[in-house]
Chain A
Amino acid sequence: MPLYHTEDQAMLADTARPFMAEEGAIAKQLRHFRDINCKDGFGHALWKQFAELGFTGMLVAEADGGLGMGHVEAGIVLEEVGRNLTPSPFLTSSVMAATALGAASADLKGRYLPGLLSGDAVFAVAIDEGAKHRPERIKTRAVRSGNGFSLSGSKAFVVHGGSADMLVVAARTAGSDDDDAGITLFAVPKDVAGLSQDAVRLVDSSVATHVKLDNVQLDADAVIGEVDGGRDLLNKVLAAGRIGAAAESLGVAGGSFDMTTTYLKQRKQFGRLIGEFQALQHRAAHLYSEIEIARAVVIKAQQLLDAGSEKAELMVSVAKAKAGKAAALAVKEGVQMHGGIGMTDEYDIGLYMKRDRALAEFMGDVYYHAERVARLSGY
């Protein structure tokens, strides 16, 4: 499959780009909800608009009422989300939780998918238990209790956890903390007894929660997929989140880069446009090259994932790491080339730097994924 968008995908991009630039604009969404100190950190009205365009159900199978699309398509939306720094629960709900629910029972699908499709529900995914992404280690326990399970443990930095109607929780039903096997995924409703959350606002104005599970009682039908055999499904959810975050990073990089090259063509110092200076030209050209390479590996990984290729796992990690590197360079060069105004809150370039930092950490940073590339390559 060639590494560019099909006609249908290009049409989707033609819809997503102006929509996000208009409705998802920084002033309208990110700054607005930040400045009113919104507890969700995003707008539900925009989420409804996502639903009207069919975005919320992109990865939901057609048989389940969704569009049955793939990661290339979700990535098109996420790139625009990144470019406009649009806060939305799209990645956690429509990409990660939707991937988990794809393997759920008809009963669970019936309970949760209609809300996702209509844009009324928001989902979060609770996997990590510390400050760094480490899904290999799951300490949270689920033990048999009554006709279901009792969950105890804690989850850290759950993005949109406080806004979520349901949390997909990865828990251990067998084995020890670092075992590959013995993992089960649960659909945990927000108001269940024993679930408590403490919200923390992050550098990019997003809100995450620290989740405590204290003997949370769930019926057996809350299990998503297989009991003890949830690692494969968890890996699918992780892959979806990682490639989605990589696509969003690409948008952050692109938005930052466009803003910066525009500035280079406007700002004058020493009687010249600063874009005339070779010191800046070479850095801008290098950055362009890095972003182009990241774009190539992101679409490669999306296609491999959609095709169910065995190479997808490796390429997803390459893509997450490379997009993270490119975006980090883009925001750093962006602020530096803007000079003093790059440090002001009034200018948007600094917001790109903040979002990049949070996205870089989400679902594993460049070091995590480089390490993973090494292991998957056999060294």
Chain B
Amino acid sequence: MSDLDAFRAEIRAWLEANCPAEMREPVRDEDDACWGGRNFKFKNEAQKVWLERCAAKGYTVPDWPKAYGGAGMTAAEAKVWREEMVRINARPPLSSFGIWMLGPALLKFGTEEQKVHYLGQIARGEIRWCQGYSEPGSGSDLVSLQTYGEDKGDHWVVNGSKIWTSYANKADWIFCLVRTDKTNKYQGISFLLFDMTTPGVSTKPILLISGNSPFCETFFDNVTVPKGQIVGELNRGWDVAKYLLGHEREMISATGGADRAGSLGAAMARGGALEDPVLRAELALFDVDALAFTAMSEKFMDEVKIGRGHPAQPNMMKYAGTEINKRRLELVMSAGGNAALEWESEASDGGSHARNWLRTKANSIEGGTSEVMLNVIAKRILDLPGA
């Protein structure tokens, strides 16, 4: 038995003994996941226990170093961990922008003190983070952002506003792009961290076409941020932001395949909705693309782990993954027929199909639109002229 086989046996036994039955059901939607944080209300005891058990072993962030709350797994071990989780349909113990986005940026750009402090909190699910990137005037053209931090010696005073801040109203802290030099577009932005309870911070949820409000407007009115709460160098926040965007794109791309390896056609057929041969054919062609994308996700992760693959590849993953996910929900709606249109009923779980369908339309907008992704692929991977 190789070391990896022994490791697999150990993980399998641990999961068997520690993953509660309720946590072996798919996460229904974003509200059903465990997000952690100061004000998070666990859906049930199982969700709480599952988080605590994983956090104690470092399993919320298996490949982070042990000193920062992880389990210190190697790339191969982390893959075994994921495979064993999938094997029993285990839910992720913690869903968190801290894990997916801020964590990797801190690991690369943070000071030792910041890593120990913030990464530990993230790993244990104590602090829920939100991301302050887009502004009302700065969407795809993110670098034009205007939120300004005025230098006051030992602190900045931040004024401005952000938009599309996911769950800002539920977050404890924000990682935020703030202009600290108005004379330099790219090298005039700093990456700041601050507490959402700081005086002057306010949020306002945005009602979306899905009827939900996962995004907020976030306002900063003379918000004081101590100088120690900068990640990376002054005015070099764009480097951190770009690095983090790579991880955000990976995260969003994952919605396309990695966690949904099954056949959509088979799932729809169980609902008895496949009497239309043309729809069945569409589902079959979709399954070809979706299963192929699952392999792409696996290959992408394998290559990331050994530092191979093009650095701009996350843009391709984001593009392909989100387009597939939109197609998936279009087919779910077609297969569901009129029942999928129900908006409030208990039978429809509060209109989950219709709301998810509408939600997916944001996939190819948030974190960089599909069109921006294609621009980046054309320029950085294909090296096309003047792109």
By a beta-carbon cutoff of 8 Å, the part of chain A in contact with chain B is: 2-4, 261, 264-265, 272-273, 275-276, 278, 281-282, 284-286, 288-289, 292-297, 299-300, 314-315, 318-319, 321-322, 325, 366-367, 369-371, 373-374, 377-379
Please indicate the chain B residues that have their CB under 8 angstroms from the CB of A314 in the complex.
Answer: 291
Q: Which residue of A lies closest to B303 (CB)?
A: A4
Binds A, one of B8-16, B147-155, B372-380: B372-380
Separation in Å of the B272 CB from the closest CB of chain A?
A: 11
CB of B295 closer than 8 Å to a CB of A: yes
Chain B contact residues, majority secondary structure: helix
Additional pairs, 20, CB under 8 Å, beyond known A2-B306, A3-B298:
A4-B299, A261-B382, A264-B384, A276-B384, A278-B375, A281-B375, A281-B384, A282-B378, A284-B384, A288-B316, A289-B320, A296-B296, A297-B292, A300-B295, A300-B298, A315-B295, A322-B292, A371-B281, A377-B287, A379-B268
CB pairs A–B below 8 angstroms (8 shown): A3-B295, A3-B298, A282-B374, A296-B292, A297-B295, A325-B288, A370-B288, A371-B281
Contact A289 B377 (CB under 8 A): yes
Please indicate the chain B residues that have their CB under 8 angstroms from the CB of A373 in the complex.
Answer: 263, 284, 287-288, 291
By a beta-carbon cutoff of 8 Å, the part of chain B in contact with chain A is: 263, 265-266, 268-269, 274, 280-281, 283-285, 287-289, 291-293, 295-296, 298-300, 302-303, 305-306, 308, 316, 319-320, 371, 373-375, 377-378, 381-387
Contact A379 B280 (CB under 8 A): yes
Q: With A and B bound together, what is the CA distance between A367 and B293 in angstroms?
A: 18
Most B CB within 10 A of own CB, among A315, A322, A325: A322
Please indicate the chain A residues that have their CB under 8 angstroms from the CB of B319 in the complex.
Answer: 285-286, 289
Chain A contact residues, majority secondary structure: helix
Please indicate the chain A residues that have their CB under 8 angstroms from the CB of B280 in the complex.
Answer: 374, 379
Q: With A and B bound together, what is the CA distance between A199 and B381 in angstroms?
A: 45
Q: With A and B bound together, what is the CA distance between A289 and B293 in angstroms?
A: 10
Taking a contact as CB atoms closer than 8 A, the residue among A265, A281, A296 that contacts B374 in the complex is A281
CB-based closest 4 A-B pairs:
A379-B269, A3-B299, A377-B263, A285-B377
Q: Which residue of B lies closest to A324 (CB)?
A: B288
Please indicate the chain A residues that have their CB under 8 angstroms from the CB of B265 in the complex.
Answer: 374, 377, 379
Please indicate the chain A residues that have their CB under 8 angstroms from the CB of B387 in the complex.
Answer: 275-276, 278, 281
Contact A281 B288 (CB under 8 A): no
Taking a contact as CB atoms closer than 8 A, the residue among B288, B296, B308 that contacts A369 in the complex is B288
Please indicate the chain B residues that have their CB under 8 angstroms from the CB of A2 in the complex.
Answer: 302, 305-306
Given known contacts A281-B384, A285-B378, is B299 in contact with A318 (CB within 8 Å)?
no
Taking a contact as CB atoms closer than 8 A, the residue among A3, A261, A278, A370 that contacts B285 in the complex is A370
Separation in Å of the A171 CB from the closest CB of chain B?
A: 31
Separation in Å of the B268 CB from the closest CB of chain A?
A: 7
Q: With A and B bound together, what is the CA distance between A377 and B285 in angstroms?
A: 12
Taking a contact as CB atoms closer than 8 A, the residue among A4, A293, A321 that contacts B296 in the complex is A293
Given known contacts A261-B384, A286-B374, A374-B283, is B292 in contact with A319 (CB within 8 Å)?
yes
Given known contacts A264-B384, A276-B386, is B371 in contact with A282 (CB within 8 Å)?
yes
Taking a contact as CB atoms closer than 8 A, the residue among B274, B288, B377 that contacts A322 in the complex is B288
Please indicate the chain B residues that have their CB under 8 angstroms from the CB of A371 in the complex.
Answer: 281, 284
Contact A315 B291 (CB under 8 A): yes
